Structure 1
Amino acid sequence: MDLVFTEEEQSFRHAVRQFLRDHVQPEIRRKVIESRDLSRSEMVTWTRILNKKGWSVPHWPEEYGGTGWTPVQHYIFNEELQMYPVRGLPDFGATMVGPVIYTFGNEAQKKYYLPRIANAEDWWCQGFSEPGAGSDLASLQTRAVRDGDDYIVNGQKIWTTLAQYADWMFCLVRTNPDVKKQQGISFLLIDMKAPGVTVRPIQMIDGGHEVNEVFFDNVRVPIENLVGEENRGWDYAKFLLGNERVSIATVGVSKERIRRVRDLAAQTRVGEELLIDQSAFRRKVAALEIQLKALEVTQLRVVASQSKRQRGIQDPASAILKIKGSEIAQATSELLLDVVGPYALPALSKADLESDNNAPIGPDWAATIAPAYFNIRKVSIYGGSNEIQKNIIAKAILGL
């Protein structure tokens, strides 16, 4: 494969970069760099700016609003978004459920849901994990029993990211308990405002409210909300998770974080010496940059092979991207924590700050670094734990 981008590809990169400069508000960029939460309206606004340009769902087929870009252009676009950086709605709509709907859904589902996803009309969440079914997802127990033109859903989901904002959930449910566990699962679209849906927050180690428990108590879901065939949900989930694992590599995010590490280290003194001038620190940064370059080359190899693979069949190398991408993301967050040192205190809420007589000891932007470090511990678990990804590599790549 040729790792040198063509003139046309370089020109495309410059066009994307200029678009970001012209349309991203400096305040939004600053908040993303400092790992601060964006409001729902801020994320929706940016997604709609992209949609107006025709770029909110670039990876979709053109008939559903996609761009028709090459795999390399997709790679460049995502890298530029991550490095700028900026972000819109979470990936649950555009990257996860959207491709499932246009690949396996019926025409009515495509016509209704896909334009709404592209324009951020709906916020989606993912209903996969359960208290007894995380890495062993096929052991899920949430039941959906047919009752006339509805399914009656009962059960519980956990670690449901941003469910407190969601309008819809794409959910794996058990519709046949009498067959092999992977063969009795279906893929339902559930209205989060339906009677019987309860969302309960889980406070995370960083003090934030990002994930939730979701309970279903006799929730009626119309049969037209079944995607694809009944009891084929496991196949659709594997398709979806393949897309999620590729995106978890986040090479651009790690590049931006290393850039920030270097900038801050050039302003941080340890005794009489700048941190960036210490040989031990420079070796640590260089070692991480080498790993990141190896991950980038691996991702480019996956990109180069996409045109040769059947649609819906995921490259097993995406498991490598998931493992190394999550490990490098954690390592870069730890390096940033090393730079900031004791100033990286957990961010306090406005109420906490007003009730505390002690002023923060460091700059305001530093207070988000420790919570971000704690939050990133999760990336080696979601999207299929790294241990599960190693099993995939052993079987699909090494043939063990």
Structure 2
Amino acid sequence: MDLNYSDEELVFRDEIRSWLAANLPQDLREKVETYAELTRDDLMRWHRILAQKGWVAPSWQKEWGGTDWTPVQRNIFEEECGFASAPPLMLFGLHMCGPVLQRFGTQAQKERFLPRIYNGDDFWCQGYSEPGSGSDLASLKTRAERQGDHYVVNGQKIWTTLAHYADWIFCLVRADPSTDKKQDGISFLLIDMKTPGITVRPLMLMDGVRHVNEVFFDDVKVPVENLVHEEGKGWTVAKYLLGHERMSAGRTGVSKRELAKLKELAASQPGNDGKAIIEDPHFRAKLTRLEVELMALEITNLRFLDEMRRTGQPPGADVSMLKIKGTEIQQTLTELMMRAADPADLEKYEVLARRYFNMRKTTIYGGSNEVQRNIIAKMTFGL
């Protein structure tokens, strides 16, 4: 096992770093660094800059715009974007729907949707969770009844991130409610958000910002050609998609940037004894533990990348470790930021408080961390 970057990979990292320094718009960088809300226009502007460069979808197949980079190079790119304070790329189209269509989609679906996802013409969201069907996703109840050349969809999705921006939603729906095993009978549909019968209602979170929504489907007609893979085999598609989501959940580049910011804040902010907070033994112990855990996460990520580099195969269920530890680190960073900040500086403190509240969700989305531990226990250790 080789966890070090090769000379060629270090040259590649420097190339990415130099390009980001020259091409990342300063106003977008400042928005990310100050935790300002990013609009749809902000997100898509950065998307299109990368698309023009040819770097927006590195993991895609070459024929659809992929870079043909190795897994290690893709990881370097993601880390450098995070560390440079680049806006996040919207995972739903690029990292979820796009790879699903390349793996399971028909040629017509690929030709219709992939270029538009790549170029930033369509904004996608994910229709998975429902009231009562979040961690136990297989219990979903949204129905899709086949009527001739259409499905008629009825039901509700919840916690749908950025659905108010979305042009399209990919949804898990129950096409056959009579199956004994709840994972059977689920289908994967692509639905135009402008279709009559769709209602999007905001859910305001603790940070006071609209990130997520409820989405209601009332007799929504979806053409049969928007079915991905086979009817009733959507669970196979969902598992494939979630593997892509969890591989990118570690976000080590972003966490390394936030750790550097935390150290700077703690070194400049005096505590009750007049010394910098970073000199407080209890705070310093927490900070040190956090940094060690982030280093361990980075090494674990490199282990998965080395395995992919050697075998050419995606990682197994133990990739959930990245999601578990990565999201816990993200939460701890915001907690220590709050401890280091000066409550008297109300404007700055409020910004950090909003981020703290917003990051409470990270251990839940993409499958709660409790579920991830069960997956590892069952699939990796056979428990």
Asked if these proteins are the same fold (TM beyond 0.5), I'd say yes
Does 1:207 pair with 2:190?
no
Does 1:281 pair with 2:264?
no
The 8 Å contact of residues 198 and 215 in structure 1, kept in 2 or not, is answered as yes
Q: How does 1:52-201 map to 2 (within 5 A)?
A: 52-179=52-179, 180-201=181-202
Letter in 2 for 1:399: G
1:133 and 1:89 mapped to 2: Cα distance?
27
- TM superposition shift of 1:156: 0.4
TM-score (norm 2): 0.97
- TM superposition shift of 1:309: 5.1
- TM superposition shift of 1:49: 0.7
- Spell out, residue by residue over 1:17-41, the C-alpha distance to the aligned partner (whole angstroms, 9 max, x if none): 1111101122211211222111211
Aligned to 2:5, what secondary structure does the other structure show?
Answer: coil
Consecutive unaligned residues of structure 2, counting only runs of 5 or more, are none
Q: How does 1:8-47 map to 2 (within 5 A)?
A: 8-47=8-47
- The 3 A distance-change label for structure 1 pair 309 and 226 is farther
Q: How does 1:213-252 map to 2 (within 5 A)?
A: 213-252=214-253
- Spell out, residue by residue over 1:102-141, the C-alpha distance to the aligned partner (whole angstroms, 9 max, x if none): 1100001111111111111100000000002111100001
- TM superposition shift of 1:226: 0.5
Does 1:389 pair with 2:353?
no
1:257 is aligned to 258
1:148 and 1:158 mapped to 2: Cα distance?
29
The 8 Å contact of residues 143 and 153 in structure 1, kept in 2 or not, is answered as yes
1:381 and 1:205 mapped to 2: Cα distance?
15
The 8 Å contact of residues 160 and 213 in structure 1, kept in 2 or not, is answered as yes
- Spell out, residue by residue over 1:147-202, the C-alpha distance to the aligned partner (whole angstroms, 9 max, x if none): 11100000000000010010000000001111121110000000001000000111
- Spell out, residue by residue over 1:203-247, the C-alpha distance to the aligned partner (whole angstroms, 9 max, x if none): 101111111000000000000101111111000000001111111
- TM superposition shift of 1:59: 0.7
Letter in 2 for 1:105: G
- TM superposition shift of 1:314: 4.2
The 8 Å contact of residues 71 and 309 in structure 2, kept in 1 or not, is answered as yes
1:286 and 1:336 mapped to 2: Cα distance?
14
- TM superposition shift of 1:282: 2.1
Letter in 1 for 2:47: T
The 8 Å contact of residues 269 and 342 in structure 2, kept in 1 or not, is answered as no
TM-align CA RMSD: 1.3
2:114 and 2:337 mapped to 1: Cα distance?
39
1:320 is aligned to 321
1:353 is aligned to none
Does 1:368 pair with 2:351?
yes
The 8 Å contact of residues 342 and 349 in structure 2, kept in 1 or not, is answered as no
Poorly superposed stretches of 4+, deviation over 6 Å: none
The 8 Å contact of residues 206 and 374 in structure 1, kept in 2 or not, is answered as yes
1:3 and 1:366 mapped to 2: Cα distance?
39
- Spell out, residue by residue over 1:263-299, the C-alpha distance to the aligned partner (whole angstroms, 9 max, x if none): 1122212242122233332222111000111111111
Aligned to 2:210, what secondary structure does the other structure show?
Answer: coil
